[in-house]
Amino acid sequence: MNSVVSIPGLEANGAKIPLVGLGTWELRGRACARIVEQALRLGYRHIDTAEIYDNEREVGEGIRAAGVRRNELFITTKVWPSHFAPRALERAARESVARLRMSEVDLLLLHWPNPQIPLAETLGALCKVKRDGLTRHIGVSNFTVAMLDEALRIAAEPLVCDQVECHPFLDQCKVIAACRSHGMAVVAYSPIARGNVRNNRVLARIGAVHKKTPAQICLRYLVQQNIAVIPRTSKLDRLSENASIFDFVLSEAEMAEIHALARREGRIVDFSYSGRIDWD
């Protein structure tokens, strides 16, 4: 196994979130437990799951097998929009924590917006499960600037992040700016655009300069902006590669060149629970 990596964190409304984590979407069964275990043995401390991924039990198994102290970990899970009514949300949160076999998670997110249920009701329940000790922190995912503004007006507890699709091919500058103005973190899912970065000439050329892969350049571009990344992988060698991005720095010119790749229409994931989201 590779040597243990040290991954720095960012601060956001009382939470300290490791800048590189492991996304677990589509990981199942023994393979999921094994990759979580190996990630933690390698030095990862941030693991992201969700009730809709149907792998919280396996994530929990991997965590226990790794033997890392609980207070060193940052575990995120997410509530699916069909459970946004207050009683359903509280039940979903308790069931997620039980599947993970933990007393609490570190961060509980609303997975996607659900306009069919008033946000005030959903956020009231989300704040309650925090006060009840099921999660240390709360936040949202896939929220636009307008949705964030509404959520922040309503929430009685601090929101620590908006987890969104974020990679060099998608312009997320408005959401990033909104999060920063409120002291919230941005957590990037699909940060290497589901592998689409590997064939990009700009990223490959910059990678050659630094002796890094296009994916590493992409991840470095995000963390250098203090954006946390949660790339998903099922390959052990990729775990080390994805975390090995803190031994070099991109120049301002390189950052600008990568930034120029962004497009409003660069979105890969465009699911919404009810109706189309008017993305920023």
3 state SS of 148 = helix
Q: In this structure, what DSSP letter does residue 43 have? A: T
Q: Residue type for 216, please?
A: Q
3 state SS of 214 = helix
In the sheet with 135-141, reading across from the earlier edge strand, the strands are 22-23, 46-48, 74-79, 105-110, 135-141, 159-165, 185-189, 228-229
3 state SS of 42 = helix
113 Cβ contact partners less than 8 Å away, ≥ 6 residues apart: 81, 119, 142, 143, 144, 147, 272, 273, 277
CB 20 within 8 A of CB 44: yes
Which residues are identified as catalytic? 53
Burial degree of 178 (CB within 10 A; 0-12, 13-18, 19+)? buried
